[in-house]
Amino acid sequence: MTWAAGLGPRHPRQAFHVDASYDGKGEFHPGIIPCGPWRKEKEEGQGPWDAAWAHKTVYPAIDSRPGNERSFDNRCSPMNSEFTIHQNTAPAAALFGFLCAPRSRYIEPG
């Protein structure tokens, strides 16, 4: 799974992004990196806004899944699906810049 929307075959398809919900496109912008899975604090959620909302209905059980596979496309749950400039977007931009830089800039040929 990739954590950037629109990148790869399995990526986040929902995000807590109000503008994207009302712009008529039906999807949010590619490249957004939502917060993703959160640590388990309780057995089940209290409503769709809760990060643990899906825990009681997933198969296999939530405790048998590794942390990076506990992500659910739930745009109503900010703990799972929100993104911020200082926590997600700025570090991702720096990382993408590093990964896309010309190779010769960092490694001497030969």
DSSP string over 4-35 = STTSSSS-----S-HHHHHSSSSSPPTT----
The answer as to whether 101 is a domain residue is: yes
What is the model's pLDDT at position 64?
86
Question: How many folded domains does the chain comprise?
Answer: 1
The answer as to whether 72 is a domain residue is: yes
Q: At residue 11, what is the residue type?
A: H
Domain span at residue 76?
18-105
The answer as to whether 7 is a domain residue is: no
The answer as to whether 6 is a domain residue is: no
| Encoded tokens for 103 | 């190779």
Tens of pLDDT along the chain (110 residues) come to 788 888 888 888 888 877 776 777 767 778 888 887 766 666 666 677 777 777 778 888 888 888 777 777 777 777 777 888 888 888 888 988 888 877 665 566 65
